[in-house]
Structure formats: C-alpha cells, structure tokens
A and B are shown apart, each in its own frame.
Chain A
C-alpha cells in the first residue's frame, strides 16, 4: 500500500564537494519509467533510512533531462548522514512538492537573482532554466555572496556565468572573508545590492539565502523602490510532511510547503516577524 509518506527509491549517482560543508548529490530515481516532473523552485523530502528525512530544494532544472540534484549543507543528524553517503547508496525521495517559481510571469522581464550561501541552490535551477531559453527574458543579473571565498557553492558554474556576456554576475564575500587573490566585491549582500542600485522598472528580483540575509535584502529592495509583488523569495522553514498537514511550516494562513516555498514579498510582509 503506497501512502503519502512512502518515498520513491533513488540512487546517488555522483557527489560533488562544493565546500567544506556542502555537497551536491546527483540522484537517479530507481523507477525511471515513473515521471518526475518538476518546476524550478520545488523541493523534495530526501530520506536516509534510519537517519531521517529532510527538505531540500531541487538545484537542477527540468531542462537537464534525467537529472535531479540537491545541494546539502551539513548542519545536523540527517545532513550528516547524507554527507556519509557513497555513490550507489539508496535514498528515498518524496515530491516534488511546493509551488515552484512562476516561470510565466518571469518571461520578458529583467531578472535579478540574489543569493546567499547555500541559498544559491534553488536559484541555480531557476537560472539554468532561464539560460536555456535566454531570449525569453530581458536583462539578467546575478548577485551572489558567501561568507568566504571558499564557501561559495557551484564555483565552476559561477565562473561560467561570469564568463557570459549576456549575464551580469557580481560576486561578493563577507567582510573578512576575502582571500588575497579575491577579485570580487567585499561586503554583505544587501549592502552590495544597494551599491548596484538596480532600477525597479520592468524587473523581478528573486532572493534566497539564510533568514537574516533574506530579511535585510527584502528591506533593501523596498528601499530601492521595488514593488513587493515583484520581489520573490524562496523560504525554508522546518518542514516534516511536505504537504501542508503537520503544521510545522505554517506561517499566517500560508504553509511554506504547499503555498510556497516561493512567495512574493507582498504575501509574507504581514508575517515577516513570524518567519525571519
């Protein structure tokens, strides 16, 4: 008997150590015949038998056929167990859950992606999907900050984005996090954002990162005159069921797992103090 809570089996195909505490796992579902259609911004509940289950956004894009990637930061028991997995280990996947990014409303707009630390993971899936049909979108800019140069995730991909002429990529590290050969900016993401002074015009901003960074960045976008309906964020609160029943991720009338994790700033403004 299958239930809402029965995970699908998936095998770890490859593991990339992004930083000292972040790994990206590429997974392949065992029953490949059963489709797994997702939108960038959706998430899965990843299970390690006997260790537990945790929420991870999908860091790959639907356009990368047959690829399902999650980036995992080691912070506790479950993520520790995930970091101990080898290729060919079996894990469980439930999902895809959540609303994903509203791809249609992003088309034709200038997009500004603002990521912090591991928060680049859901943005990566989105950025990849956008770059696959570059002409469908306006100007693209990526602002990414990490605590130190070594803590940046997807270093190769960041280099690739920086190398592109049709994307403006700004990288920053926290004050004190730079290495002598660091060529990017130094400063917290919200401050660098203010320096960049993006114009609201026909732009949509997408923000993801640690809670404090999201809060300060959303405030910065407010200062810059962005319409709260045009600033999106992907929230990550503690989740368990993933389907809006256990109540854990409930904030206001919203369930992050069901009504989110992607929200506009307008949707969550009222309950900001209860979220971040």
Chain B
C-alpha cells in the first residue's frame, strides 16, 4: 500500500502538482506531516498507525500554500476527507486546485499505543471515491461501534451548577497555548477573535473568564462545522476533553437539523445559513 502511495505521489509531480502534503518521518523517527515538492521526496513518505494528523489543516496555512499557484496534492484518511468537504463547502479551497489521495485506514493510535476514540466509532474507513482522485489500500475489516455519546451524557446528567463547576475546573487547566485552535483545520480566521486587541473580546491572560470564553466561543464557532477529527483533544497538553465539548454541539446540530458536517462538499452549514424549514428555537431540545 505504501509503495502504491509513493508511486501515486510521484505521478502527481509528473502532472501539474507542485506540493504534496503527506505523512513522513522526522529525524527522530516519529511520524510527522511532510511537504513533498519533488518526485524524489515521495521515497520518504510513510503510512502507519501514527498518521493521526489531519493534514487538511495546512490547506489554509498561507506560509505553506504560498501564493496559491499550482495544484496541491494532499493525503487524507476518511475522517480528514470530511473536514475537506467542509473546507470546500466554505470555499476555503477549490476542488480543481487539489489532487486528493485518500487512504483506506485501519485506525490510528495515540502516543501510548491505544486506538483513538474516534477510530472506535469510525464509519469512513473506506473513503468514498467520488470525493477523491484515488483511493489506495486494502478495504479494512473494521467493526465500529455506535458512538454512544456517553461522555456527553455524563455531563448532561449534571444539574447546571455542577456542569458549570465541571467545565470551569477543566478550563482552569488551560494554558492558552492555542494548540487546539492552531491545529484545527477549520479555525482558519486570519485574525482570531481571541487575538483581537481592539476591542479585546477575550482576555489574553489565563484568567478563569478568559479561558471559559475562549473555549465556549470556539465550541460555538465549531458547531455544525466540526467533523470530530479529535485533533484538538489530542494536542492539548493538559488533557482538556475538548472532543466532548465539540461533540455536544455536533449532537445538537444532528438532532435539530439532521445534518452531519462534512458529508458532502456542497452541504450547507446549518448555523451559517437559513432555510425556511429550520427548526424553531423553541423546538430545539437543548439538554
């Protein structure tokens, strides 16, 4: 499978692709995002169970993308493809400018060797060929379990005051390092609200208020868009359960609008658009 991937990438360079964002190896032998710019770079690509990065993140990185000329190749897993669909729907990238190489995936593991939570419930291990330029790899034998939202339910079971205390304790741990925001492919605002000085919407310092605002505002900005790639939670140095927060929003959107973010590249974003049959606010059961 890896050889097929390398060959595919080499062929992309023979075409009109100038940059391929893929997985490679760092000097200290860890799997890292790499930026191949010539056929020979394909030799160093890797594919393993530590390829957890959602590389679509780099499609909105202006330092990497340069002046946007030429076609960009990108290696994606099924989950990353969902995020790509949101980027396409939000017109941050154009399909014609991309060569999408999808990989069939057996699941990713964290630094301790444990299967990622999102992989346990994955239904996109075999990416839809209609959304990519090619799909590589054997069809994986996966038996995903249903996402039971147990972590979300556990918090919903708390009365409001307890819930506030729970999240306040979580956000107190926050260092405001911005790793969660910066790794998110959908946090692509050129000037993040949290960085604005004038007016200063969100306190810069790690104050209790500032931290709560930062995370709650981000959760709101993600609702209806986030495809639950889980990267935010993976990268948090202090282990804040950000995925739980994002999935809460995802569940509300699913139940109210019947929409799964990232299902298609032209899907409307329920909270960023209005349709006559949108549910009445009163009808939306928010627990």
Contacts and interface: CB of A to CB of B under 8 A. Distances in A.
Q: State if A and B touch, Cβ cutoff 8 Å.
A: yes
Interface of A: 76-77, 80
B198 interface: yes
B197 interface: yes
Number of chain B interface residues as a range: under 10
A83 to B, nearest CB: 14
Contacts of A80: 198
Nearest to B198: A77
A76 B199 CA distance: 10
Contacts of A76: 197-198
Contacts of B199: 77
7 contacts: A76-B197, A76-B198, A77-B197, A77-B198, A77-B199, A77-B200, A80-B198
Task: List the 4 closest pairs (A to B, CB-CB), nearest first.
Answer: A77-B198, A76-B198, A77-B197, A76-B197
B263 to A, nearest CB: 42
A122 B98 CA distance: 52
Contacts of B200: 77
Interface string B191-209: 0000001111000000000
Nearest to B199: A77
A80 B197 CA distance: 13
Contacts of B198: 76-77, 80
A272 B200 CA distance: 32
Contacts of B197: 76-77
A164 B74 CA distance: 67
A117 B199 CA distance: 27
Interface in B160-200: 197-200
A260 B29 CA distance: 43
Nearest to B200: A77
Contacts of A77: 197-200
Nearest to B196: A77
B171 to A, nearest CB: 25
A168 B256 CA distance: 75
A80 B200 CA distance: 14
A205 B197 CA distance: 36
A165 to B, nearest CB: 47
Nearest to A75: B198
Nearest to A80: B198
A7 B198 CA distance: 23
A76 B198 CA distance: 7
A80 B198 CA distance: 10
B203 to A, nearest CB: 13
A269 B27 CA distance: 33
B78 to A, nearest CB: 42
A136 to B, nearest CB: 44
